[in-house]
């Protein structure tokens, strides 16, 4: 079975095509805000233009636009190819990548840049890449307090250090090929956005 993995929720844009669990195609770029322009051309660069039996897509949290771009593309391709579709969390992917290192600690915190000066943060334990705190969107001081002495992975790692977290910062990006490191339970979410914070616009009243 072929599976296409899509990563657009963070500053990276990447796609990976697997034959069973074997990686057969991969494109990865640091794009910042260019997901909409790069995603479909990236998929087209894969073997057989990325055609797959199943699609796995990052649901967030992260870039609002990036999340929407990835989900829209995944849903359209799933419909066209009659493929299954499931989601995963960007923070769980980064945690799984960090825990795959041979000298990984038993717990770590993932922190990525959010919106309005906040960071999306969540702690994980190595066994099963299990979340041990809820996803939170916090200002730097509160986010650093949550990190404690954990190693911190993700785009917010250096900011957590600057705000008082004492653990080492790990330079780890979200990459679609590393979805193979995630436990199946963390790669079976509904393909719906995980925004991580309440919307800015509210209904009147």
Instruction: Please spell the DSSP secondary structure of 2-43, one letter per residue.
Output: EEEEEE-SSSEEEEEEEETTEEEEEEEEE-TT-HHHHHHHHH
Instruction: Give residue 197's pLDDT.
Output: 62
Give 90-170's CATH code, choosing from 3.90.1070, 2.30.30, 3.40.50, 3.30.420. Answer: 3.30.420
- CATH 3.30.420.40 intervals, the chain: 2-89+174-187
């990447």: which residue's tokens? 14
User: Please, what sign has the CA dihedral across residues 117, 64, 84, 25?
Assistant: negative
Residues of the chain with pLDDT under 50: 199-205
User: Taking CA 69 as the corner, what is the angle to CA 68 and CA 74, rounded to the nearest 5 degrees?
Assistant: 100
Instruction: Give residue 82's pLDDT.
Output: 98
The third-level CATH classification (topology) of the domain covering 2-89+174-187 is Nucleotidyltransferase; domain 5 (3.30.420)
């Amino acid at each position: 079975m072929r599976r296409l993995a899509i990563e657009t929720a963070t500053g990276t844009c990447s796609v990976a095509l697997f034959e069973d669990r074997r990686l057969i195609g991969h494109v990865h770029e640091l794009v910042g805000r260019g997901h909409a322009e790069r995603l479909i051309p990236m998929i087209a660069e894969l073997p057989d233009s990325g055609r797959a039996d199943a699609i796995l897509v990052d649901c967030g949290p992260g870039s609002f636009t990036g999340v929407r771009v990835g989900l829209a593309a995944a849903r359209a391709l799933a419909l066209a190819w009659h493929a299954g579709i499931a989601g995963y969390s960007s923070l769980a992917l980064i945690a799984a990548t960090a825990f795959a290192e041979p000298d990984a600690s038993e717990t770590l915190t993932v922190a990525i840049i959010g919106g309005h000066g906040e960071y999306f943060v969540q702690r994980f334990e190595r066994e099963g890449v299990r979340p041990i705190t809820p996803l939170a969107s916090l200002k730097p001081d509160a986010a650093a307090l949550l990190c404690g002495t954990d190693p911190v992975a993700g785009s917010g790692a250096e900011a957590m250090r600057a705000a008082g977290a004492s653990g080492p910062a790990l330079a780890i990006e979200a990459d679609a090929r590393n979805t193979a490191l995630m436990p199946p339970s963390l790669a079976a979410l509904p393909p719906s956005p995980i925004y991580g914070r309440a919307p800015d616009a509210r209904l009147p009243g």
